[in-house]
Amino acid sequence: MNVGGAGGFQFPRWTNWLRVGLLVALLTGPPYLVLLVWLGGSPLTTDVGYQPEQPVPYSHALHVGQLGVDCRYCHTTVEEAGFAAIPPSATCLNCHQRVRAQSPKLAPVRDAAAGGAAVAWVKVHDLPDYVYFNHSAHVRRGVGCESCHGRIDRQEVVRQVAPLSMGWCLDCHRDPDPHLRPVDAVTVMGWTPAEDRRVLGRRLREAAGIAPSEQCWTCHR
């Protein structure tokens, strides 16, 4: 080190390398940050578009879109419980005892109902374990199924359409008006009100006293 002396302080020679380092940092730093943000919010991370193959090729497009079955016929607990339960095999057989009773595609369901192994569906909308989402709290306040699950009536195989990220949750919690509908229209797919959604949503929010929380412990415990 060359400190002091007549010339005062002089940077030692090895510090010349810092200039090179600084250049490398300047060149790689911004792309790194961009990559980090882009990857963090990309569907690759949030899993948007996740569309696993199910053990039974159940078509929501057929049952909801063409036949008009209400969501709550199968997902009975959605208004009472946190989970919108996957229906027991017995629910399928209510119709399929008569309709296409011998279809080979339904074999796992028939097996399960006859006492075999239960049908193991693959979870599509998978929140992290530290998130405690509650369906009833949303459905009973007029958040439509469509708002998070998309046009289920058009999905042959269910896929994740929304990022289900915390920022996405908070967007709605901070401004719920465009997503609210009358409670009796919650399960309607492609619902469009006559008036402006924002005006209607505001009226519904004020009438029902809806005040979505932004507090951590509402979802994380």
Partner 1 sequence: MAHDYWRSLEERRGLVTPQLDPELARYIEDELPPATRRSFLKLMGASLGLAGLTSCRWPRELIVPFTKRPEGRTPGVPQQFATLMEHGGAALGLLVTSFDGRPVKVEGNPLHPSSLGGTHVWAQASILELYDPDRSRQLLHRGAVARREELLAFAEPHFAALRARRGAGLAVVAGESSSPTLVALRQRFETELPEAWWVADEPVSWRGQELASAAALGAPARWLLHLDRVRSLVVLDADILYAHPNAVRHVRDFAATRRGGDAQGRLWVAEAALSITGAAADHRLPVRPSRVGLVGLHLAREVAAQGVALPAELAALLAGELPPLEPAAQAFVRAAARDLVAHRGAGLVVAGPGHAAATHAALALNAALGNLGATLTLLPAPAARERSLGDLASALEAGQVETLLVLGANPVHTAPAALRIGERIGRVAASIHLGLRVDETARACTWHVPQAHFLESWGDGRGWDGTYGVQQPLIEPLHGGRSALELLSLLLDAAPASGHDLVRASFVRLHAPKDPETAWRLALRDGLVASSPAAMTPAWRSDPASLAAARERALEAAGDLEVVLVPDSRVWDGRFANNAWLQELPDPLSKLTWDNAVLLAPATAAALGVRHGDVVKLSLAGEVEAPVMVMPGQAPGTAVLPLGGGRTAAGQVGDGVGFNPAALLPAAGPPPLGGLRVSPTGRRHLLACTQDHHAIDRVGFRGRELRTPEIVREQNVGEVHESGHESAHADDAPIFRSPELTGRNQWAMAIDLSACIGCGVCAAACQAENNVAVVGKAQVARSREMAWIRIDRYFMGDEGNPRVSFAPVACQHCEKAPCEQVCPVAATIHNDEGLNQMVYNRCVGTRYCSNNCPFKVRRFNFFNYAKKVSHLRRMAFNPEVTVRSRGVMEKCTYCIQRIERAKIAAHNERRPIADGEIVPACAQACPAGAIVFGDLADPESRVARLHREGRAYVMLPELDIVQRTRYLARLRNPSPDVEEA
Q: Identify the burial level of 184 via C-beta atoms within 10 angstroms of its C-beta, where 0-12 means exposed, 13-18 middle and 19 or more buried.
A: exposed
197 counts as binding partner 1 under rule CB under 8 A: no
Instruction: Using the minimum distance from each CB to partner 1, give the nearer residue, 119 or 200.
Output: 119
Footprint of partner 1 on 82-111 (CB under 8 A): 82-83, 85-90
CB of 189 to partner 1, least distance (A): 22
- Asked if residue 59 binds partner 1 (CB under 8 A), the reply is no
Any contact of residue 218 with partner 1 (CB under 8 A)? yes
Tokens of 111: 């097996």
Distance CA 204, CA 167 (A): 24
Residue 118 in contact with partner 1, rule: CB under 8 A: yes
Range in contact with partner 1 (rule: CB under 8 A) among 4-12, 24-32, 77-85, 147-155: 77-85
Q: Is 51 in the site for partner 1 (CB under 8 A)?
A: no
Site for partner 1 in 18-47 (CB under 8 A): 47
Q: Is 167 in the site for partner 1 (CB under 8 A)?
A: no
Residue from 64, 113, 161, 204 that binds partner 1 (CB under 8 A)?
A: 113
Q: Given CA atoms 200, 203, 209, 213 in this order, what sign does their dihedral have?
A: positive
Q: Does 120 bind partner 1 (CB under 8 A)?
A: yes
The SS3 call for residue 143 is strand
Q: Does 140 engage in binding with partner 1 (CB under 8 A)?
A: yes
For residue 104, give the nearest of 166, 55, 162, 46 by alpha carbon: 55
| Size of site (CB under 8 A) for partner 1 | 41
Residues in contact with 24: Cβ distance below 8 Å, sequence separation at least 6, in sequence order: none
Rounded Cα distance, 92 and 22, in Å: 65
Of 22 and 122, CB closest to partner 1: 122
Is 147 buried (19+), middle (13-18) or exposed (0-12) by CB count in 10 A?
A: middle
Burial class (CB in 10 A: 0-12, 13-18, 19+), 178: middle
Judged by the rule CB under 8 A, the positions of this chain that interact with partner 1 are: 47, 50, 52, 77, 80-83, 85-90, 112-113, 115, 118-123, 126, 129-130, 132, 134, 136-137, 140-141, 208, 211, 213, 215-218, 220-221
